[in-house]
Structure 1
Amino acid sequence: MAALREAGYELRPDPATLAQKVGQREIAKRAGLARMTVAALARGEGTIQSYVTLAAALKVTPRIAERKSYSACMSSRDQTWRTPQDLLASILAAAGRSEFDLDPCSPSSDGPVPALVRWTEADDGLSQPWRGLVFVNPPYSRALPRWVAKCADEANAGAVVIGLVPSRTDTRWWHDAVADQADVIMLKGRLRFGGGAHAAPFPSAIAVWGDPALAERIAAALPGAWHIPAQKTAA
């Protein structure tokens, strides 16, 4: 299900709504599923096969639909995926700053990320140069690889870029623009993004391009975080 959401799609009716419709114990009995499986579905986790079994037990027809909220700045526009404020505070404290220089993917000119300059979708942050200390919570959709590549490119041009990304070490974008390019801070547990009723169905990582010392300080400020230094090879 997490992969489906990241690709820009969702299941309808909503799995969490179905799982809570008649109570988890009763629905587990009707569907012949374990209660822990139903609980996972209610959290937005689990497998599509379990969801189909659940839907059949409730006599509803499941379907896959494109998420309308996905766009070039989905993770900022959709309240569900906004960066947790306590995480932003820890990063800024480690940087010795009260705000970032730029948020290139903000939902509005007064968005939630403390930044001197905020670009919205209309500004098209992918097409503009970035300067200074930049924080990016990129879209968790099909645009994600472009944003991560942009982070690496702008760091090579002189910016310091901090990105909050899904920990997807099996993807091409990770190996092209994160692995050996950025310091990676693997976060303990799963984040509860702003507006989310439950923790995210995927692990998250902070990638820091362009400032290894800052990455060390951020990792030290986050309990249980695991710092993997960048190992760039000479051309």
Structure 2
Amino acid sequence: MNLKTVGYTGSKNGRQVNHFLSQLPPLDLPARTVTRLQKGQGRLAVLMAALTEAGHELRPTPEALAQKYGQREAARKAGISRNTITVLAQGQGTLASYLALAEALKVTPRIAKRPGFAACLSSRDQTWATPPDLLAAILQAAGSEAFDLDPCSPSPEGPVPALTRWTEADDGLSRTWQGLVFVNPPYSRALPLWVAKCFQEADAGAVVIGLVPSRTDTRWWHSHVAGQASILMLKGRLKFGNGQGSAPFPSALVVWGSQELAARIAAALPGAWHIPNKTAA
């Protein structure tokens, strides 16, 4: 959801919060969270996590800001309690507290792209391609050497083993899927559209396996994942493709259309937390 400003401008603090929020990129956040952020009451940690998943980061971090002059001096300059400074130093606290401290210390917060993570927003970059060992485990559980379809492949050559691969130019969202389908969608604003498409195509008869960020607080998760599919919460954080480090978010495998296959994949992935789709007939 885009954090557009609202009519919370009756105080200097409110204007400060709204000015900051107007500079943010679109973020996937629940409406209630957005409202709290707009009022300055939202938790800074939630905002920072959303920024990370969107390939951005807050500079300076609240920890760095709180330690700029030491906690005692920072509290004196900002006219706020040392306890508030301590909380900010732990990466917690509210957005309003962070902005108040930044203003007192004459620091201008800014949003910057995270180096090395921007590719997460696009399915076209091999850096965020699905880990080969994960693909191998899924195919072994499915008893197949290849999927029938990868509808959002980074390139016609893969890397997902599939009989048919569609790239961005093929527009997999507008086409019919059939057979065993594997989807590692772009983690951008289009993600909810891809998850809805997974649900719809499985409802029409396909078996769809999606690798998605574990965003259990989002609307798309509760609309098309929770209670609609079998879920495998993966242990730890994946190292995608050529990425040098782990992803900045937890991941989940979502299986629409076959509880049996989900159970076999879970058995092939030690440590994965399997949540069966108990509402399925």
Q: Where on the TM-score scale, by shorter chain, does this alignment land: which range?
A: 0.7 to 0.9
For residues 1-235 of structure 1, what are the structure 2 equivalents within 5 Å?
Answer: 1-6=48-53, 8=54, 10-11=56-57, 63-64=110-111, 74-232=121-279
State whether residues 75 and 137 of structure 1, in contact with CA within 8 Å, keep that contact through their aligned partners in structure 2. no
State whether residues 5 and 141 of structure 1, in contact with CA within 8 Å, keep that contact through their aligned partners in structure 2. no
CA distance in 2, matches of 1:162, 1:148: 10
Residue number in structure 2 paired with 1:21: none
Displacement of 1:168 after TM fit? 1.0
Q: TM-score, normalization: structure 2?
A: 0.63
Displacement of 1:98 after TM fit? 0.8
Q: Which of structures 1 and 2 has the larger relative contact order (alpha carbons within 8 angstroms, sep 6+)?
A: 1
What does the per-residue CA deviation read over 1:169-192, in whole Å, with 9 as the maximum and x for residues that have no partner?
111101100011110011111111
Between the aligned residues of both structures, percent identity stands at: 70
Displacement of 1:95 after TM fit? 0.5
Displacement of 1:229 after TM fit? 0.7
Displacement of 1:12 after TM fit? 8.3
Displacement of 1:226 after TM fit? 1.1
- 1:76 aligned counterpart, secondary structure: coil
Displacement of 1:31 after TM fit? 7.5
State whether residues 59 and 112 of structure 2, in contact with CA within 8 Å, keep that contact through their aligned partners in structure 1. no
Q: Cα gap change, 1:12/1:122 in structure 2, threshold over 3 Å: closer, same or farther?
A: farther
Displacement of 1:223 after TM fit? 1.1
Any stretches of 5+ residues in structure 1 without a counterpart? 16-27, 34-45
Opposite residue 88 of structure 1, the aligned amino acid is L
Displacement of 1:29 after TM fit? 7.8
CA distance in 1, matches of 2:55, 2:121: 13
Equivalent residues, number: 205
Any stretches of 5+ residues in structure 2 without a counterpart? 1-47, 72-90
Q: TM-score, normalization: structure 1?
A: 0.74
Q: Cα gap change, 1:86/1:152 in structure 2, threshold over 3 Å: closer, same or farther?
A: same
